[in-house]
Amino acid sequence: MPTATRSLLTIDTPMAPPAWAVMQRALLRAQVPAIEAFYAKYFDERGYLLCVPRWGGDDGADDAAENFTGWTLLYALGADRVVLDRYLSAWEGHLRQYTEAKTVEVEFARDGMYFKEFPVMFDWGHNGEGFNAFYLQGLCTPYDRTFQDRTRRYAGFYMDEDPIAKNYDPRHRVIRSMFNGSRGPMLRKATALDWTGDRIEIEGRFKPGHRETTYEQMLAHFAEYNDVAGDHPLNLQTTTLAINACMIAGEAKYRDWIVEYVDAWQQRTAANGGVIPTNVGLDGTLGGACGGRWWGGTYGWGFSIDDYLNPGTGGRLHRHLFIERAPRGFGNALMVTGDQGYVDTWRGVIDGVNANAKVVDGQTVYPQNYGEEEGAPGWYNYAPEPYTNGALPVWFWSMADADTKLIAGDPWVRYLRGNNPDFPVESLQRDFAELRRRVERMHRDGSSPDARMSDDPNGSNPAMVTALTQQMLGGLETAHYGFPLYSRLRYFDPERRRPGIPPNVAALVDSMSATEVAVTLVNLDQVEARTVVAQAGAYGEHRFGTAAAGSARTTVDRPYVRVRLEPGCGERIVFEQDRYAEQPTFTFPWDRPE
């Protein structure tokens, strides 16, 4: 029978190992040798990626770093230390390799593609992808001085603290260009060369990911990527730099900047009738750097370009990439303030787009873009499904039943609502199948480093963390875009003094509401007891109220609690949670004051 004190739950209810628990542990184990094999094939002893390093949007530095996306989160979930070691080696090598790599034709990268260990000047569609693994390093090594120094330096590039990187104008609360970095903002029109990088040999040597067969086609892809001056919602991704810096030691200036910058976007969205604009001038006016077109800008609402590989077909590519990335900026503001008004803003964007639905041939269709595609400004690119970008995060942050209307078919959401009982095993099976596919692809790769682009190995990266994040943590998929981890739970191993669930322990979150989260913890070890620290939120941003296991109930009233699992025992625990009641922190539970 489970027993409890304020700081410790003891679980002594026998539980035969559930299938999902056995598979979780197996998936954590299987990825370790796969990552070691991947590292051995694609990295050298310095941690340099074995490829031709280039600048550009096709195969640039961000693609190189995507080869170790998921490694830091995998370690934070409980994988072996070697996963973290391989990441650290690859990240240090990456920073050196792309600082040494220089362009000839692209002017702003001639002294190095990285400066001060950061991209000299690029968009946050790409920068966020390249820094994904680093963003989550704070879950693993928050006390590392080098990590702390870099995090603060990177945030300073966007807080007007660097004498060269004058990206941010505090008066108008704008990041002055969509193209920005450690050498500051680009305030002119961007060219295809700026995006494509130096001329390279393609035919018979490289196979670019966008299917180009000549360098001229690479240039053609970026021919219309010109309007970059002025602020852009992609820049909301810079708030992840600031929130990471804030979580090191709780310095208020980082929290204040997040609020200041996100509030500016909140106000711009309200001024634009509830739809977030994609260009803001240097003076803060909507569309001010695009001739008054609030929908303007590369990757903006109206960014639809010719399909350069299919000339004459009338095909168009709709590349408004901000839609999957900007919502997390509002989530970061929520995390440091607890203010649900930020969630309301993005919910309003979704509702504002869908309010422009129309009926065509008896079917309701919904717009996805706004611009001058059909002659006059208006909504276009209609689809039979509602606009849903950001709907899953909105529901996760609000936990409001009404916010499930657009995501009711999501398999994870259906499971949490009691309608998809096979989800845990099926999702783990899918990840196992994908892991096998990626390892097979790696083994089939017979390319040589001098004929390999930086993104060629991306599809073989063996880190599979989505199902584990959803099941173990009750967390949103981190994908590869570059965000913090948003989750209801996280685990630590107090005996080994490291993050991650202890050996032979598994966890399954089966329901979440605005005030509760339920998780089954089980110890698969039939001989040794295990103690796990459960934390309320990825960064302790929530607070546990009571914890109920079986007939035992205790008041926790803090962001973490120890759970002792006797050999072969497990139990479903229902935690009351006061969400966003604490300031997020990287500090491990045993280093916090009681």
pLDDT digit string, tens, across residues 390-399: 999 999 999 9
Determine which of 25-39, 301-315, 371-385, 499-513 has the lowest per-residue pLDDT on average. 301-315
* Separation between Cα atoms, residue 143 and residue 149, nearest integer Å: 10
Residue 171 corresponds to which tokens in the numbers above? 């008066």
Residue 107, SS3 per DSSP: helix
Determine which of 188-197, 317-326, 333-342 has the lowest per-residue pLDDT on average. 317-326
Residue 513 corresponds to which tokens in the numbers above? 């509401």
Q: Are 78 and 25 in contact (CB under 8 A)?
A: no
Residue 570 corresponds to which tokens in the numbers above? 């497990």
In 325-480, beta strands by DSSP E: 358-360, 363-365, 369-371, 378-380
Residue 430 corresponds to which tokens in the numbers above? 């899918």
Strand partners, 10: 3, 564
Amino acid in the structure at residue 184: G
Percentage of the chain with pLDDT > 90?
A: 93
- Reference 64, options 105, 119, 108, 103; nearest CA is 119
Q: Are 324 and 233 in contact (CB under 8 A)?
A: no
pLDDT, tens digit, for every residue of 346-359?
999 999 999 999 99
Question: What is the residue whose two structure tokens read 């973290």?
Answer: 84
Long-range contacts of 407-414 (CB under 8 A, 24+ apart): 412/470
* Separation between Cα atoms, residue 234 and residue 236, nearest integer Å: 5
Give pLDDT, residue 314: 59
pLDDT, tens digit, for every residue of 74-84?
999 999 999 99
Residue 499: pLDDT band with limits 50, 70, 90: very high
* Separation between Cα atoms, residue 95 and residue 12, nearest integer Å: 48
Which helix (DSSP H) or strand (DSSP E) does residue 96 occupy? helix 81-100
Number of continuous H segments (helices) and E segments (strands) in the chain: 17, 19
Percentage of the chain with pLDDT > 70?
A: 98
Give pLDDT, residue 313: 55
Q: Are 15 and 570 in contact (CB under 8 A)?
A: yes
Q: What is the dihedral of CA 336, 410, 302, 179, to 10 degrees?
A: 40
Residue 535 CA to chain centroid, in angstroms? 20
Measured CA to CA in angstroms, residue 121 lies from 3, 261, 272, 343 at distances of 56, 20, 29, 30
Q: What is the dihedral of CA 23, 28, 30, 35, to 10 degrees?
A: 160
**237-248: average pLDDT:** 98
* Separation between Cα atoms, residue 159 and residue 253, nearest integer Å: 9
Is 231's pLDDT higher than 60?
yes
Give the fold, CATH level 3, of 4-11+488-591.
Answer: Immunoglobulin-like (2.60.40)
* Separation between Cα atoms, residue 356 and residue 126, nearest integer Å: 30
**Contacts for 492 with CB less than 8 Å, ≥ 6 apart:** 498, 499, 500, 532, 533, 535, 560, 588, 589, 590
* Separation between Cα atoms, residue 30 and residue 25, nearest integer Å: 9
Domain range list for the chain: 4-11+488-591, 18-141+191-219+425-477, 225-407
Measured CA to CA in angstroms, residue 165 lies from 56, 107, 125, 235, 501 at distances of 20, 16, 19, 15, 40
pLDDT, tens digit, for every residue of 267-319?
999 999 999 999 999 999 999 999 999 999 999 999 999 877 765 555 788 99
* Separation between Cα atoms, residue 391 and residue 350, nearest integer Å: 7
Long-range contacts of 434-441 (CB under 8 A, 24+ apart): 434/464, 435/27, 435/30, 435/31, 435/34, 435/462, 435/464, 438/34, 438/462, 439/34, 439/37
Q: What is the DSSP letter of 554?
A: E
* Separation between Cα atoms, residue 393 and residue 499, nearest integer Å: 25
* Separation between Cα atoms, residue 162 and residue 164, nearest integer Å: 6
